[in-house]
């Protein structure tokens, strides 16, 4: 275990020393030749991370919500129909965002912890004929993962653009953007991309770019307008300086280090590692007798786990005890069940030792709350499941 408290929430996460070293290096000019090279290389590498060789990457200073905005603002015009595949809090957020730009939004919902059936989505697509559909790949409020491959196939059949909010999935969950026909995928730096908070990351595929170039009305958001950022991205990738807004220089240095590490590990190997960590964490939670928010095992994400508190135990008692034992975890987020569950992040550079230390801290916290279980049960189950 590290010599400090582990940050095991669904973002921000723990970061590699080389990434932090790049972040802490003396700041260069945004038009310095070495920075231009690093930025251009990072853009090229993002295509490999998103598995979208014909996509256009965007790297903009901001949060994951800005990444959502970069898609919504540029693809929606007033009166457009949009469908939201809703599995939690961030589906609600995307619906509100699209409405801000004049979209007529329909939500396909499921009970908390569930996910809408493909037949429901197909019916809604046929009935509404939306311009775009948004999908939260992993909703951090519920720990539910969407079947992006199947949803993308349905969208393509109806001629609908599919926008994947991959804030809690990209570089952790399997996402084959070009192969599956995903038109836009987006994320933020502080999750499985493994860079401190501050970068909104998006890759737009050919159909999304065509839709953008075919707009009949101006983009209603000045900062998010692709017209302002596209020339900048193209210039840096061509190893030329350009300017619209000052880039987050040190974060982009750190991004280039991190995406290099991700590609050195290999996308398939990285996804497999996240699945192994997820199996271990969920096995430990089950062995300790705790339920989880996702209603079915196949609904549960690999980048995080959302355990329910046992009877008689709540956040105010448990989470401080777990922190004292060595791991910082997150409380609930979904408003309907906020007090009923907590959240464990296990993504990015998280390794087996980090996960086992976290499970051990959970055991210590539960024991301190008077919850009865056999000591070591969770850790043993995690080891067996890896």
Cα separation, 286 vs 377, in Å, equals 10
pLDDT for residue 63 is more than 90: yes
pLDDT for residue 84 is more than 90: yes
- What fold, for 17-265? 3.40.640
The residues pairing with 305 across neighbouring beta strands, listed in sequence order, are: 344
Cα separation, 377 vs 386, in Å, equals 15
DSSP secondary structure letters along 75-137: H--TT-EEEEE-SSHHHHHHHHHHHHTT-EEEEE--STT----HHHHHHHHHHH--SEEEEES
Cα separation, 160 vs 157, in Å, equals 8
Q: Of 1, 15, 2, which Cα lies nearest the Cα of 345? A: 15
Cα separation, 4 vs 327, in Å, equals 9
Do 42 and 263 touch, CB atoms closer than 8 A?
no
Per-residue confidence (pLDDT) for residue 1, from 0 to 100: 40
Do 248 and 200 touch, CB atoms closer than 8 A?
no
Cα separation, 99 vs 102, in Å, equals 5
Q: Of 30, 11, 375, which Cα lies nearest the Cα of 192? A: 11
| pLDDT confidence bin for 33, thresholds 50/70/90 | very high
Q: Of 57, 16, 50, 40, which Cα lies nearest the Cα of 267? A: 50
pLDDT for residue 83 is more than 60: yes
Tell me the CB-side half-sphere exposure of residue 194, using CA atoms within 13 A. Answer: 27
Per-residue confidence (pLDDT) for residue 246, from 0 to 100: 97
Per residue in 299-333, pLDDT (tens digit) is 999 999 999 999 999 999 999 999 999 999 999 99
Per-residue confidence (pLDDT) for residue 308, from 0 to 100: 98
Phi, psi of 202 (to 5 degrees): -150, 145
DSSP one-letter code for 213? H
pTM for the whole thing? 0.97
- Residue ranges per structural domain of the chain: 6-12+266-385, 17-265
Per residue in 125-171, pLDDT (tens digit) is 999 999 999 999 999 999 999 999 999 999 999 999 999 999 999 99
State the average pLDDT over residues 160-186: 98
User: If DSSP codes are grouped into helix, strand and coil, which group holds residue 151?
Assistant: helix
Cα separation, 231 vs 183, in Å, equals 20
**Within this chain, domains 6-12+266-385 and 17-265 share the same CATH topology:** no
User: If DSSP codes are grouped into helix, strand and coil, which group holds residue 308?
Assistant: strand
- What fold, for 6-12+266-385? 3.90.1150
State the average pLDDT over residues 61-77: 98
High-pLDDT (> 90) share of the chain, %: 99
Tokens of 129: 């004929």
User: If DSSP codes are grouped into helix, strand and coil, which group holds residue 60?
Assistant: strand
User: If DSSP codes are grouped into helix, strand and coil, which group holds residue 289?
Assistant: coil
| pLDDT confidence bin for 4, thresholds 50/70/90 | confident
């Amino acid at each position: 275990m590290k010599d400090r408290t582990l940050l095991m929430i669904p973002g921000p996460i723990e970061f590699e020393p080389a990434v932090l070293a790049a972040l802490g290096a003396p700041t260069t000019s945004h038009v310095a030749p070495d920075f231009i090279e690093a930025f251009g290389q990072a853009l090229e590498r993002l295509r490999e991370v998103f598995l979208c060789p014909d996509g256009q990457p965007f790297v903009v200073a901001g949060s994951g919500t800005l990444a959502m905005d970069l898609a919504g603002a540029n693809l929606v015009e007033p009166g457009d129909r949009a469908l939201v595949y809703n599995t939690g809090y961030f589906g609600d957020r995307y619906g509100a965002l699209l409405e801000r730009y004049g979209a007529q939004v329909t939500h396909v919902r499921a009970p908390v912890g569930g996910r809408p059936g493909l037949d429901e989505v197909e019916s809604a697509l046929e009935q509404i004929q939306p311009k775009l559909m948004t999908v939260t790949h992993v909703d951090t409020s519920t720990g539910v993962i969407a079947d992006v491959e199947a949803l993308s196939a349905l969208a393509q059949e109806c001629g609908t653009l599919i926008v994947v909010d991959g804030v809690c999935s990209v570089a952790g969950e399997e996402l084959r953007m070009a192969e599956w026909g995903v038109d836009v995928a987006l994320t933020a730096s502080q999750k499985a991309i493994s860079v401190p908070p501050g970068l909104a990351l998006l890759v737009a595929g050919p159909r999304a770019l065509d839709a953008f170039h075919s707009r009949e009305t101006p983009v209603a958001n000045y900062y998010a307008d692709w017209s302002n950022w596209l020339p900048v991205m193209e210039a840096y990738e061509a190893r030329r300086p350009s300017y619209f807004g000052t880039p987050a220089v040190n974060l982009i240095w750190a991004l280039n280090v991190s995406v290099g590490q991700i590609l050195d590990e290999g996308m398939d190997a990285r996804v497999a590692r996240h699945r192994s960590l997820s199996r271990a964490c969920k096995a430990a939670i089950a062995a300790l007798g705790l339920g989880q928010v996702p209603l079915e095992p196949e609904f549960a994400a690999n980048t995080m786990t959302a355990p329910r508190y046992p009877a008689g135990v709540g956040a105010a008692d448990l989470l401080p005890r777990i922190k004292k034992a060595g791991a910082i975890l997150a409380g609930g987020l979904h408003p309907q069940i906020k007090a009923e569950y907590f959240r464990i992040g296990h993504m990015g550079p998280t390794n087996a030792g980090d996960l086992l230390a976290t499970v051990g801290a959970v055991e210590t916290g539960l024991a301190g709350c008077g919850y009865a279980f056999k000591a070591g049960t969770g850790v043993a189950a995690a080891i067996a499941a890896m």
